[in-house]
Structure 1
């Protein structure tokens, strides 16, 4: 004999109340939040509504002790600190809006924080791997020692594409640019350009976070690669964009295209790890700090507003020194 049907409202809370629907509309229409942000806040509101439903609590009757208890439950259920922080941010914004609309007199989420998340160290390439990536050249199609796959790949890639890729890698590693700063570069300086390269002055002028402009030096290897690329770029069919780095269609390269291309180049160069554009920025900072020890200079070059953001590279530097010590010092090695 089959079990009786379980009432639907015993399995899940009913549809979100109109106030949550109105708030989401406000975020979408008035605030014009991105779809991904709306989706994350939607998940946060579903959690809030589920907690209220489980405790028979009206949305506007929530108090700080409820939120603290629910935060602890989310943590116990395995939700990560970052996800909990996003959830609390959604709830906080909801009750702030409810207060403006006259539904509540206090924000029950105010002052409640998510558990602290451990800050992972940025991943930087060892110096030899960064140099290997920058100096990598595709196999010559006529080289009999090259594998058939490598020769086919090299024959398929036009010289301008190889020159563009080398210039991008050299510039990312030489100047520590963010991917958005690299892709925002134009061929010529203009009032409308987000950034450009001054070849004569060996400088890159970029637009960083917070719309802050800065100038960073460009190394000789990067300058040579850029000149080669610019010569070939000028010979291409009329580009569709003023961008320094173009796609096959003559348009400004996108972040996804840059990530995919760098991943392919790292694989071709035989690097044992996945490489993304920001890893070259981390490598730039870490290697510069190892050589100079000048934290303030690295901060300026990276465009960090606060020295604390740059200090994470001192941990990388110590990690590197610790590895050297463990490998080299006779009293560091454990006896078997």
Structure 2
């Protein structure tokens, strides 16, 4: 029998690298970089993020998943172009940016992948395997499209259509309705929704609402419940819990991919429409709330936006005002 470190929790997995002698950490990192081993290099990057990034062990699962995918994409490119990862040339990083843009990748995707690769190099420098900073001066074009052009919010009719499709689901009807309304009426990010606990929800009058614990930026906020969302949560809560549910969490899905597998088919029947991700549901809530309040500050507070300009990307204010004015011409 041999002993090994427990790797279940993020902090425990980090010890695989932090407990090593510096010379051994350098040797393993150098060896993994030489053969472009995605598993070992991700483990190293994850350990560095956990130990030295701003959020540390509180780094969100979504961020880790996104960085892991970006790192794999970088390593595939490095393999195809025969990069020496520990000694990249000055032009290598910018060449990868050009390749991604030329292949049709969105600017947002390019930024995430560059961030993941930069995180890898921070980890390699931490392990003393290299001193390279290949992404420090890389240039990525600004995305000048309006937020609604990149991913428009679902209309109220489209949300209602998806809700009707959820009602017809043979086994998850109440669950899917509750999730859709938490996103489209509560305006939660998908990670926030999947981390909701029943203890965060107040269903009884006079002030039904929910508390988003540690949203983006580790900030908590209160969100009021619409009558439909409150009714959906009450119906869902009354059902017996099954083995697939996760302790005190409201929804059983651990990742957005797991949730998307069940939500995506609800949009398949929409004419000329396809599932555009969960953020379009959040934008639907922000757009609808602004249309009623006309107050970016109030909408930003409910959505948990630190910068009100982010909220502005949910609504075409000038176009709507012009349309209203011109209707009387």
TM-score band w.r.t. shorter chain: 0.5 to 0.7
Matched, 1:209 2:216: yes
What residue is the counterpart of 1:281 in the other structure?
A: 282
Matched, 1:198 2:205: no
CA distance in 2, matches of 1:74, 1:204: 44
CA distance in 1, matches of 2:153, 2:73: 30
What residue is the counterpart of 2:117 in the other structure?
A: 90
Say how many residue pairs are matched.
271
What residue is the counterpart of 2:247 in the other structure?
A: 242
Residues 290, 299 of structure 2: 8 Å contact kept: yes
SS of match in other structure, 2:185? helix
Matched, 1:41 2:42: no
Higher relative contact order, chain-length normalized (CA < 8 Å, sep 6+)? 2
CA distance in 1, matches of 2:323, 2:203: 39
| 1:170-219 CA-partner distances (Å, limit 9, x unpaired) | 222221112222222223x2xxxxxx211123111123123322211111
CA distance in 1, matches of 2:80, 2:242: 54
Alignment of 1:290-301 (within 5 A): 290-301=291-302
CA distance in 2, matches of 1:117, 1:307: 18
CA distance in 2, matches of 1:72, 1:197: 44
| 1:104-126 CA-partner distances (Å, limit 9, x unpaired) | 6x746533322223445231122
CA distance in 2, matches of 1:92, 1:112: 14
Residues 186, 224 of structure 2: 8 Å contact kept: yes
Residues 205, 216 of structure 1: 8 Å contact kept: yes
SS of match in other structure, 1:300? helix
CA distance in 1, matches of 2:218, 2:176: 26
Alignment of 1:3-42 (within 5 A): 20-21=33-34, 27-32=41-46, 35-42=68-75
Give the TM-score of the pair, scaled to structure 2.
0.63
Instruction: Structure 2: give runs of 5+ residues left out of the alignment.
Output: 1-29, 47-63
Residues 192, 212 of structure 2: 8 Å contact kept: yes
Matched, 1:178 2:172: no
CA distance in 2, matches of 1:244, 1:88: 31
Shift of residue 73 of structure 1?
A: 6.0
What residue is the counterpart of 2:22 in the other structure?
A: none
SS of match in other structure, 1:205? strand
What residue is the counterpart of 2:53 in the other structure?
A: none
SS of match in other structure, 1:31? helix
CA distance in 2, matches of 1:225, 1:76: 43
Question: Which of these two proteins has the greater Rg computed from alpha carbons?
Answer: 1
Shift of residue 319 of structure 1?
A: 4.3
What residue is the counterpart of 2:50 in the other structure?
A: none
